[in-house]
A = this chain, B = another copy of it.
Amino acid sequence: MTVMTNANSKIKIGVLGASGYTGADLVRLLLLHPNAEISLLTADRRAGESYAAVYPHLAGRGLPDLVAIQDADWSGVDAVFCGLPHGTTQELIAALPDQVKVIDLSADFRLRNADTYAEWYGHEHRAPHLQGDAVYGLTEHAREAVSAARLVACPGCYPTAALMALLPLVGGGVIDPADIVVDAKSGVTGAGRGLKEANLFCEVAEGIHPYGIASHRHAPEIEQELSLAAGKDILINFTPHLMPMNRGELLTCYVRMTEGHTADDLRATLAERYDDEYFVTVVEPGVVPATRHIRGSNHCLIGVFADRIPGRAIVVSTLDNLVKGSSGQAIQNMNLMFGLPETTALEQAPLFP
Is A241 located at the chain interface by the 8 A CB criterion?
yes
Pairwise interchain contact B206-A200, C-beta atoms closer than 8 A: no
- CB-CB under 8 A from A200, the residues of chain B are 188, 193, 195, 199-201
Answer whether A314 and B208 are a contact pair too, CB < 8 Å, given A246-B353, A288-B213, A353-B247.
no
Q: Which of B31, B247, B287, B314 contacts A237 (CB 8 A)?
A: B314
On whether the beta carbons of B206 and A295 are closer than 8 Å, the reply is yes
In this complex, what residue of B is CB-closest to A250? B208
A210 touches B252 (CB 8 A): yes
Chain B residues closer than 8 Å to A211, beta-carbon distance: 288
Given contacts A208-B185, A252-B210, A291-B208, contact A353 B203 (CB under 8 A): yes
> A248 contacts which chain B residues (CB < 8 A)?
206-208
Within 170-193 of A, Cβ neighbours of B (below 8 Å) are at 178, 181, 183, 185, 187-189, 193
- The answer, yes or no, to whether A348 is at the interface (CB within 8 Å) is yes
- A339 close to B (CB within 8 Å): no
* Nearest opposing residue in chain B for A291, CB measure: B207
CB of A308 within 8 A of CB of B237, answer yes
In the complex the two chains form, what is the Cα distance from A187 to B351 in whole Å? 15
Q: Are B314 and A239 in contact (CB under 8 A)?
A: yes
**In the complex, what distance in Å separates the CA atom of A218 from the CA atom of B250?**
22
Is A238's CB within 8 Å of the partner chain B? yes
Contacts A246-B353, A314-B213 given; does A204 touch B201 at CB 8 Å: yes
Choose, from A7-15, A54-62, A97-105, A122-130, the stretch at the interface.
A54-62
A21 to chain B: closest residue by CB: B353
Contacts of A28 in B (CB 8 A): 349-351
Would you call B309 and A252 a contact (CB within 8 A)?
no
Instruction: Decide if A290 is an interface residue (CB 8 Å cutoff).
Output: yes
Q: A207-B245, A349-B57, A351-B351 are in contact. Are A201 and B183 (CB under 8 A)?
A: no
- Nearest CB of B to A236, in Å: 7
Inter-chain contact A349/B58, CB cutoff 8 Å? yes
Asked if A205 CB lies within 8 Å of chain B CBs, one says yes
- Taking a contact as CB atoms under 8 Å apart, the answer to whether A348 and B349 are in contact is no
Please tell me which one of the listed residues B57, B61, B204, B246 contacts residue A293 in the complex, with CB atoms under 8 A apart. B57
Contacting residue for A206 out of B206, B236, B297, B314, CB 8 A: B206
Q: Mark contacts of A316-353 with chain B using CB atoms, 8 A cut-off: 1 yes-contact digit, 0 otherwise.
A: 10100000000000000000000000000001111111
One digit per residue, 1 when the CB lies within 8 angstroms of any chain B CB and 0 when it does not, for chain A 296-320 equals 1100000001111110101010100
Please give, as numbers and ranges, the residues of chain B lying within 8 Å of A58 by CB-CB distance. 349-350
Name the one of B193, B209, B219 contacting A308, with C-beta atoms under 8 angstroms: B219
Chosen A-B contacts, 8 in total, with CB atoms closer than 8 Å, are A28-B351, A55-B352, A59-B281, A183-B254, A205-B246, A208-B250, A236-B308, A237-B308
Binding site for B on A (CB under 8 A): 21, 24, 27-28, 31-32, 55-61, 178, 181, 183, 185, 187-189, 193, 195-197, 199-211, 213-214, 219, 235-239, 241, 243-248, 250, 252, 254, 281, 283, 287-297, 305-310, 312, 314, 316, 318, 347-353
5 interchain residue pairs of minimum CB distance: A209-B290, A207-B292, A202-B353, A57-B293, A57-B350
